């Protein structure tokens, strides 16, 4: 997972920019480079994934003086590269991102809507002496921005790079590009121009085919690839598909609390079925508490759900980094937002389900996607998200929501039905949804809440009032996270829209904890 940074002015010394950028060094520990242009600066940390030789180092430059720094993967780039070579372009490396400057010269901003990619980039166009920035439609690759005291815009992969350089730091909106001082939406991945009215079997066949293709694209790497396997439906499907496509044992990793892990037994079942080389990482309550402050600093959030779910993910990724040569990890994120979560069983209508899905997909970059990116990149690994394949997401968003609501007495029915057969054991294919932090072990969240109880007394609400201007903490646990966040990101709370919570406007969802454990339909999720 690489890191990028750019400044569109010349009044901040390069040494100050490099000092801020050093905070994201773990994203690209292989090599760093700073490139100064007449009116600004590009900075890059490299994690070598594609085109691993020195020629693949960024920023890439063109003979006319233009340059680009990109953290991303362009899927299907080999075919695209051949097409560009046929039109006279020449390339020095095996990097997919080297294609960006030729594409820019040929297509301009139109190229963003045509890219099949997870990306964030900053581009300097020499003929116009101007900077352009863009981010993929889901926001899988991170990008933040802010303005210097002199009014020039800065961009960076992580907000901590901009601390002390910019005032208010904000997430760069997914599916947008920045040009000539304006943010322009080039693709709204949630927009449905025409509802898909295919019959159930056709829908499921398309879901199956598109997800398989999404996994296949993400197996292309010049370095070893591994897989996070919780034993839940989503990660298990990714692993099963990859195992069949590669026709060899894959490397799978699961994490669980030593005291009461739920996921580990299911992950083992899935691993045994697909014949993977399976690795279990056991963690303790002490491990979780010791890592808490570091995780919040890495995440740049105070959201309860994100932090709880990040504890296990960060620790398993740390173990992968320390114990293996894996550089790329495939994950199962984004399925919940498309097909439903436990709380969406309470959606009062198909239209309400669809509206909730739209909201959650638009917010992904602040929650689940942020968690996966930071936990993985902090350990010098790259995350790839098959359920975030643009064609897959666009199709599922367009499916008639009457088919997506839970009228089948089983959440995510479409996805389960699409893969019925011998792909996974029935115990995995039909496993009830459990929140990741809960399934790592109920003691994980319980230990965190108990820790907060030990810190704060009965006057905690008065302390919480200090933050009433935005996303006021509403429990001792949320206050703990907010105060750690403010220690590292003072005054930057508005980077996060609010707490991730079930839709409290729905009957059965007016709860005071984001865990599915508090919902009446949790049922066998905790078994």
Fold entry, domain 3-185: 3.60.20
Provide the CA 320 distance to its chain's centre, in angstroms. 18
> How many CB atoms are located within 10 Å of the residue 326 CB?
19
The pair of structure tokens assigned to 472 is 């006021």
- Please pick, among 2, 317, 375, 423, the residue that the annotation labels catalytic: 2
Token pair 């039909």 in the structure block, residue: 430
Higher pLDDT among residues 525 and 294, named by residue: 294
Same topology, domains 3-185 and 200-442+459-509? Answer is no
Higher pLDDT among residues 313 and 439, named by residue: 313
Which residues does 269 contact at the CB level (< 8 Å), separation at least 6?
Answer: 231, 425, 427, 428
Average the pLDDT over 70-92 and give the result: 94
With a cut of 80, say whether residue 334 has pLDDT above it. yes
With a cut of 90, say whether residue 373 has pLDDT above it. yes
Higher pLDDT among residues 410 and 384, named by residue: 384
The reported pLDDT for the residue numbered 168 is 96
Average the pLDDT over 422-445 and give the result: 85
The reported pLDDT for the residue numbered 54 is 87
The reported pLDDT for the residue numbered 433 is 77
Rounded distance between C-alpha atoms, residue 184 and residue 431, angstroms: 42
Residue 51: pLDDT band (50, 70, 90) is confident
The reported pLDDT for the residue numbered 524 is 66
Class of residue 527 by CB neighbours under 10 A (exposed 0-12, middle 13-18, buried 19+):
exposed
With a cut of 70, say whether residue 495 has pLDDT above it. yes
Torsion 386-391-392-393 (CA) sign: positive
Instruction: Give 154-193 pLDDT, tens digit per residue.
Output: 999 999 999 999 999 999 999 999 999 999 999 999 999 9
In degrees, rounded to 5, the angle at the alpha carbon of residue 16 between the alpha carbons of residues 11 and 22 is: 140
The reported pLDDT for the residue numbered 525 is 60
The pair of structure tokens assigned to 140 is 């899988």
The reported pLDDT for the residue numbered 518 is 81
With a cut of 80, say whether residue 435 has pLDDT above it. no
Residue 527: pLDDT band (50, 70, 90) is low
With a cut of 70, say whether residue 416 has pLDDT above it. yes
CATH number, domain 200-442+459-509, options 1.10.10.60, 3.30.750.24, 3.40.50.300, 3.40.50.620? 3.40.50.620
Our answer to whether residue 185 is catalytic in this structure is: no
The reported pLDDT for the residue numbered 523 is 67
Instruction: Give 270-302 pLDDT, tens digit per residue.
Output: 999 999 999 999 999 999 999 999 999 999 999
Average pLDDT of the chain is: 94
The reported pLDDT for the residue numbered 115 is 96
The reported pLDDT for the residue numbered 342 is 85
Residue 497: pLDDT band (50, 70, 90) is very high
The reported pLDDT for the residue numbered 461 is 95
The reported pLDDT for the residue numbered 52 is 77
pTM (predicted TM-score): 0.96
Beta-bridged to residue 69, according to DSSP, are 122
CB 6 within 8 A of CB 122: yes
Least confident of 44-53, 74-83, 195-204, 286-295: 44-53
Rounded distance between C-alpha atoms, residue 352 and residue 348, angstroms: 6
The reported pLDDT for the residue numbered 439 is 80
Residue 79: pLDDT band (50, 70, 90) is very high
Q: Where are the domains of the chain?
A: 3-185, 200-442+459-509
Task: Kindly give the pairing relationship between strand 117-125 and strand 130-135.
Answer: antiparallel
The reported pLDDT for the residue numbered 490 is 96
Beta-bridged to residue 184, according to DSSP, are 177
Residue 493, SS3 per DSSP: helix
């Amino acid at each position: 997972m690489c890191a990028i940074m750019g400044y569109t002015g010349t009044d901040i010394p390069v040494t100050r920019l490099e000092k801020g950028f050093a905070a994201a060094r773990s994203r690209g520990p292989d090599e760093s480079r700073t490139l100064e242009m007449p009116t600004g600066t590009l900075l890059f940390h490299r994690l070598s994934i594609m085109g691993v030789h020195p020629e693949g180092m960024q920023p890439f430059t063109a003979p006319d003086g233009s340059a680009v720094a990109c953290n991303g993967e362009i899927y299907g780039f080999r075919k695209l590269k051949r097409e560009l070579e046929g039109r006279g372009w020449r390339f020095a490396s095996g990097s997919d991102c080297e294609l960006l400057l030729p594409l820019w010269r040929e297509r301009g901003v139109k190229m963003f809507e045509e890219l099949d990619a997870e990306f964030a980039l900053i581009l300097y166009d020499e003929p116009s002496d101007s900077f352009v920035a863009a981010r993929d439609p889901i926001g899988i690759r991170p990008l933040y921005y802010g303005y210097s005291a002199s009014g020039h815009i800065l961009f960076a992969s992580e907000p901590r790079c901009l601390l002390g350089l910019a005032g208010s730091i904000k997430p760069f909106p997914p599916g947008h590009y920045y040009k000539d001082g304006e943010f322009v939406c080039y693709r709204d991945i949630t927009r449905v121009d025409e509802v898909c009215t295919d019959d159930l079997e056709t829908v499921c066949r398309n879901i199956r085919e598109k997800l398989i293709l999404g996994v296949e694209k993400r197996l292309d790497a010049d370095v070893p690839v591994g897989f996070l396997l919780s034993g839940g439906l989503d990660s298990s499907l990714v692993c099963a598909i990859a195992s069949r496509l590669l026709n060899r044992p894959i490397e799978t990793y699961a994490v669980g609390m030593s005291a009461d892990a739920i996921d580990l037994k299911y992950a083992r079942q899935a691993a045994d079925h697909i014949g993977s080389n399976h690795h279990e990482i056991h963690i303790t309550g002490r491990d979780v508490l010791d890592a808490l402050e570091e995780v919040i600093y890495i995440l740049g959030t105070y959201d309860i759900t994100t932090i709880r779910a990040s504890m296990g993910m960060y620790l398993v990724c740390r173990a992968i980094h320390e114990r293996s040569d894996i550089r790329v990890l495939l994950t199962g994120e984004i399925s919940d937002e498309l097909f439903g979560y436990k709380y969406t069983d309470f959606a009062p209508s198909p239209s309400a389900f669809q509206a909730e899905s739209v909201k959650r997909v638009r917010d992904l970059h602040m929650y689940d996607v942020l968690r996966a990116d930071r936990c993985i990149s902090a350990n010098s690994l790259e995350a790839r998200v098959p359920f975030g394949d643009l064609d897959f997401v666009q199709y599922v968003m367009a499916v008639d929501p009457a088919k997506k609501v839970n009228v089948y007495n089983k959440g995510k029915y479409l996805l389960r039905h699409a893969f019925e057969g011998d792909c996974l054991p029935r115990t995995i294919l039909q496993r009830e949804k459990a929140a990741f932090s809960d399934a790592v072990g109920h003691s994980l969240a319980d230990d965190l809440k108990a820790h907060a109880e030990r810190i704060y007394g009965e006057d905690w609400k008065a302390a919480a009032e200090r933050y009433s201007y935005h996303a006021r903490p509403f429990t001792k646990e949320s206050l703990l996270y907010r105060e750690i966040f403010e220690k590292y990101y003072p005054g930057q709370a508005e980077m996060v829209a609010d707490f991730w919570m079930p839709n409290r406007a729905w009957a059965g969802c007016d709860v005071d904890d984001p865990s599915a454990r508090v919902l009446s339909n949790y049922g066998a999720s905790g078994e």
